[in-house]
Every structure is written in C-alpha cells, then in structure tokens.
A and B are shown apart, each in its own frame.
Chain A
C-alpha cells in the first residue's frame, strides 16, 4: 500500500519570503507520479506541480519548485516570493498509473495549511 506523510500541519510565511513544505511517501513501485495540489478557501483542488518518478530533474512551475529525492522517498515543495493568494491547504499526492485496480487513484497526505501574511 502507498502512504503519503506530511509532517507539518500548519506553516506560515511572510509575503515575498520563501517557504518549503515537506512530504515523504512509501511505495514499493518503481513507476509513479507525485503531485502537489492546492486547496484555497474556495475549495477547488488545483494542481500546482507534478513529477514523474523516472525523471531525476526536479519540476519547476514559475515560483513553485520541488526537491525530489527518489532514494529517500521525499518530495518537498518550495514556494518562492510567497503571495497572499498562496494561502491554502497544500496536499501532497501519489499516483501509480500502472495498476488496473488502483487506476488513477490518488493517495493524499493529510495536508499542510499554509498562511501567507503581509
């Protein structure tokens, strides 16, 4: 079974600063995907960034980047130049695309509530 652990229930950061959210996971699979989703108070889950396990290069999307350490099973999210609109719950998620019985299933961590203050 896959498990995803986010050890920081809450974090806060001042606007324009950098913050890193932690995520670790446990799997015996070799091919998988990792995602960070953001859920603001509006409730919609929005994909922030994604990473394929076989790619060593860390994914980057504008102010968002990841530090993917496959051997350590770690997948942290760095948010640079934090903005007030980044305030949200952030979920780390794992997907194994290969297994028919777990087709498309996302395994979520418990989430980290990030607050960006002025």
Chain B
C-alpha cells in the first residue's frame, strides 16, 4: 500500500465555518506534512510532524490548526478562513530514517472559502 488518502476531495466553506481536512497513510511513515498549493505554483510547506510531534510550523496563521492523533492520521482544522486561503491542500508522508526518504502525496483537498 503506497497510498496517502485525503478527504474530502472538495470543500466549500464560509468564513465563519469550522471544518477539518483528513489525511491517512498505512505505509508506516513517521513523518507527515501539510502543503498548500495555489494554481500554477509549487507547493508551500505548512507543517511537519515527526513521530506524531509538530516539528516544523512555517509561520502559518492560527486559523489553521494541525493535529496528529496517531502515526497514521493527520488532520488540519480550519476556522475563520479568508478567501485568500482558497487553494489545494496536499498531505504527504515519508520515512524518517531510510535510504529513500522521498515524500508520497495524497490527491489533495480543493478548498474554496466563500
């Protein structure tokens, strides 16, 4: 199983809503990532979890709140978002100690904030 599964695939939310994005992997990877990607741009790193602990926060606004309940799951809680937060949100996972630490990506959640 080399899949990273993200749900939902599409999400439309109002600026006062609270929603969550979910990511799951069963490859035994102990590093998980959230990236944000605008159209025709490369992904931008938001958060990195290592062994279920937050290790990197790229100065992301607090309206984005990550959570790693266990080694297979990664959530991104959304609250009071702005229209400029509309983007594709990608989850990824990778080995930490490995000859090949490449990241495997999910299909992403297309988020629209109205």
For residue A35, which residues in chain B have a CB less than 8 angstroms away from its CB? Answer: 102
Interface residues on B, range: 20 to 34
Please determine whether B42 and A91 come into contact, CB atoms closer than 8 angstroms.
Answer: yes
For residue A68, give the distance in angstroms from its CB to the closest CB of chain B.
16
In the complex, the 8 A-B pairs of residues with the closest C-beta atoms, listed nearest first: A108-B42, A45-B105, A44-B107, A104-B31, A43-B108, A97-B101, A104-B94, A50-B102
**In the docked arrangement, what's the CA distance between A106 and B110, Å?**
21
Please determine whether B48 and A105 come into contact, CB atoms closer than 8 angstroms.
Answer: yes
For residue A110, which residues in chain B have a CB less than 8 angstroms away from its CB? Answer: 41-42
B43 at the interface (CB under 8 A from A): yes
Q: Which residues of A contact B (CB under 8 A)?
A: 33, 35, 37, 42-47, 50, 89, 91, 95, 97, 100-106, 108-111, 113
B114 at the interface (CB under 8 A from A): no
Sample of 14 A–B contacts (CB below 8 Å): A37-B105, A43-B108, A44-B106, A44-B107, A45-B105, A47-B103, A47-B104, A95-B102, A100-B55, A103-B50, A104-B96, A104-B101, A109-B42, A110-B41
The closest CB in chain B to the CB of A4 belongs to B42
Residue among A43, A44, A101, A104 making CB contact with B103, cutoff 8 Å: A104
For residue A106, which residues in chain B have a CB less than 8 angstroms away from its CB? Answer: 43, 45, 103
Please determine whether A42 and B107 come into contact, CB atoms closer than 8 angstroms.
Answer: yes
- Contact A105 B45, CB 8 Å, known A44-B107, A44-B108, A45-B90: yes
